[in-house]
Amino acid sequence: MRESYIRLRSELSSELDRILNYWASNTIDETHGGFYGAIDHHNRVIPKASKGIILNSRILWAFSAASSHLNTEKYAAVCQRAFDYIKNNFYDTRYKGVFWEVDDKGTPINKRKQVYAQAFCIYAFSEYYIYSRNEEAKLLAIEIFECIEKYSRDKEKGGYMEAFDEDWGSLEDVRLSPKDMNADKTMNTHLHVLEAYTTLLKIYESEKLKESLRHLVDIFQNKFLNKQNHYELFFDRSWNLLSNTVSYGHDIESAWLVLEAARCISDKDMESACEASAIKVADTFLSEGIDAEGAVMNEKHMDTGALDDDRHWWPQVEAMVGLEYAYKLTGNNEYLEKSVEIWEFTKKHLIDRQNGEWHFRVDRNGNPYTEEHKVSMWKAPYHTTRACIILTSVT
């Protein structure tokens, strides 16, 4: 098993280079600046595709984190390009924060303030600062943190509200995407605020920030995590549960991100509690979320029993990271064995050896959904790059 896992780490190191080279070689928009908004399954640029802040902030995060990890200046221009494009095209100089979407030429077309997006810019700007020491990036990260705390944090009920209008006014429809529930508070947004604050705390010593991160960890432990060791997804403002669906990828991703946040707070009791939760979530994930072929399934509706067994690209790598954390906590080789199985499935079915990058998802038979794009608002190099970095850094 140890030999198999060592081989996995070596292959992930090579895969990191392959992913970075794909994005640096195929996605740069030389005509209108920044990066293309969409590239299809067959590697064809989609004409006039709009450009989303999630894609652009994830590109900045991925290349910044990878550049630090690899100790290289090879991608310095890509990092600078990503930062400048966000600052010049998505950043709201009037009301602060970042817009959701611009057109192919960089003109804002959707100015809503999705808190999920604000968090990703904090995450990306903080990581870019770690790599480049660009003070403007750090200041913008802090500024957006203050916006989230001022406008989104629910001082009465706790947690963070989902989305706002351009001037941080209220919205009727706060959904992150059409497939999501129109809920005041979601686990997904809270997860990425937590992720962002964890990284910001590494570059910004602030008791206010630390208190906010502690608050987020507490919410994950006491609001989102249920007795069945799954993280609930959608709530109203008063924390009444609105759904009963399990997202297997979000379960295992949350387990390790919450633990990492607790470690940054330096609270031993909270850290111990999060360690115990991470192990329980990982064990439940192993028993429920992986099929016989070693693939991570998408989600299950617990009321009806309906199972979505499509295999999306990102849960596979988040599972490998979460299982690595569980192994470090317990020394149980089963976690590593399952990681190797997931990686073998991923290599066989999700990595596109012909056109580059990874398929968005495949069905239960391993057939890719060719109508889905390689590059899009939701298809970026963040999950894969992060997993490669983490799993090739472990000792």
At residue 241, what are phi and psi to the nearest 5 degrees? -70, 135
| Strand pairing class (245-247; 101-102) | unpaired
At CA 194, angle to CA 284 and CA 187, rounded to 5?
Answer: 55
pTM exceeding the 0.75 threshold for the entire prediction: yes
- Tokens 């994930």, residue located: 285
pLDDT of residue 178: 86
Cα-Cα-Cα-Cα torsion 54, 58, 60, 61, nearest 10 degrees, comes to 140
57 touches 121 (CB < 8 A): yes
Q: What is the 3-state secondary structure (H, E, C) of the chain?
A: CHHHHHHHHHHHHHHHHHHHHHHHHHCECCCCCCECCCECCCCCECCCCCEEHHHHHHHHHHHHHHHHHHCCCCCHHHHHHHHHHHHHHHECCCCCCECCEECCCCCEEECCEEHHHHHHHHHHHHHHHHHHCCHHHHHHHHHHHHHHHHHHECCCCCCECCEECCCCCCCCCCCCCCCCCCCCEEHHHHHHHHHHHHHHHCCCCCHHHHHHHHHHHHHHHHHHECCCCCECCEECCCCCECCCEEEHHHHHHHHHHHHHHHHHHCCHHHHHHHHHHHHHHHHHHHHHCECCCCCECCEEECCCCCEECCEEHHHHHHHHHHHHHHHHHHCCHHHHHHHHHHHHHHHHHCECCCCCCECCEECCCCCECCCCCCEECCECCHHHHHHHHHHCCCC
pLDDT of residue 179: 83
Chain center to CA of 378: 10
Q: Which residues contact 294 (CB under 8 A, 6 or more apart)?
A: 338, 341, 342, 344, 345
Residue-level pLDDT, tens digit, the chain, 395 residues = 678 888 999 999 999 999 999 999 999 999 999 999 999 999 999 999 999 999 999 999 999 999 999 999 999 999 999 999 999 999 999 999 999 999 999 999 999 999 999 999 999 999 999 999 999 999 999 999 999 999 999 999 999 999 999 999 999 999 988 888 999 999 999 999 999 999 999 999 999 999 999 999 999 999 999 999 999 999 999 999 999 999 999 999 999 999 999 999 989 999 999 999 999 999 999 999 999 999 999 999 999 999 999 999 999 999 999 999 999 999 999 999 999 999 999 999 999 999 899 999 999 999 999 999 999 999 999 999 999 999 998 66
List domains and CATH numbers for the chain: 2-391 (1.50.10.10)
